[in-house]
Amino acid sequence: MRRPFIAGNWKMHKTVAEATELASGLKEALASVKDIELAVCPTATALGAVTQVLADSNIGAGAQNMHWEASGAFTGEIAPAMVKELATYVIIGHSERRQFFGETDETVNKKLLAAIAQGLIPIVCIGESLAQNEAGETVAFVGGQIRGAFAGVPKEDARNVVLAYEPIWAIGTGRTAMPEDADRIIREAIRDVLTDLYDDATAQAIRVQYGGSVKPDNMADFIIMPEIDGALVGGASLTVEAFAGIVNSAIKALGNG
Ligand code: PGA
């Protein structure tokens, strides 16, 4: 059984003061949640402070990005060991990084290998553009992203990777994929490809979040789908009310709360 996992991606929002306030509020609001894994991913500047606030809580902290090299002349970058000092998780290959910061399947692969070597739990993002979706290329494209990301990743490490299927056209737009479509794409572009790369048991063990305009009032529709194991939430992770609302509607929909 895959343990449901809901993570907040705070993107480039919140000062340290604002981030600690949000983390404190979430810690209190979500204290009784047991059956869903929870994480928040603040900016790098707030990561240390948020991790401190969340110590001894049921909410983990993650970074939004990192470099794959251990150290060196890479101005502005953060190494895996530096992330590990402050976080449990790391988001890799978010579509905004692919779109605005030159991230490719190759850099995603390097980062994934580095995260695994460092003992971080990676959340690897994949997803198609609107044009690819309308051209019927989604399964081939996302399948290619999966093959690229997992190159050289051994089976025993692959099962601990978390994936976030985020159709680019659904991110921050208020427009979500149909839950049935997302479920089918996860099956055909992700689990089938993982079965091909590894085996069925590994493909079934890997958790896949849905991302893209997840809100308290649509979380239930996604979490009840057989292939969807949680969510990566952007905009609606920025207030206690919205993020706790998402977690609570997932609990209710799963009937385990
Ligand atoms: P959104 O972002 O929830 O604001 O659409 C999701 C994401 O980019 O991870």
178-207 pLDDT per residue, tens: 999 999 999 999 999 999 999 999 999 999
Q: Residue 96 CA: which ligand 1 atom is closest?
A: 8
Of residues 127, 118, 114, the one with CA closest to residue 165 = 127
Tens of pLDDT, residue by residue over 94-145, are 999 999 999 999 999 999 999 999 999 999 999 999 999 999 999 999 999 9
- The full length of the chain comes to 257
Q: Which of 213, 218, 238 to mutate to test the pocket of ligand 1 (most atoms within 8 A of CB)?
A: 213
For residue 257, name the pLDDT band (cuts at 50, 70, 90): very low
pLDDT at 124: 98
The CA distance from 242 to 16, in Å, is 20
Q: How far is the CA of 56 from the centre of ligand 1 (A)?
A: 27
Tens of pLDDT, residue by residue over 175-184, are 888 999 999 9
Q: Which of 166, 168, 208, 215 to mutate to test the pocket of ligand 1 (most atoms within 8 A of CB)?
A: 166
pLDDT at 256: 54
pLDDT at 196: 98
Tens of pLDDT, residue by residue over 14-61, are 999 999 999 999 999 999 999 999 999 999 999 999 999 999 999 999
Count the neighbouring beta carbons within 10 Å of the beta carbon of residue 10.
Answer: 25
Of residues 146, 24, 20, the one with CA closest to residue 92 = 146
Does the predicted model carry a pTM greater than 0.75? yes
pLDDT at 224: 97
One DSSP character per residue, 111-155 reads: HHHHHHHHT-EEEEEE---HHHHHTT-HHHHHHHHHHHHTTT--H
Q: Is 232 in the pocket of ligand 1 (CB under 6 A)?
A: yes
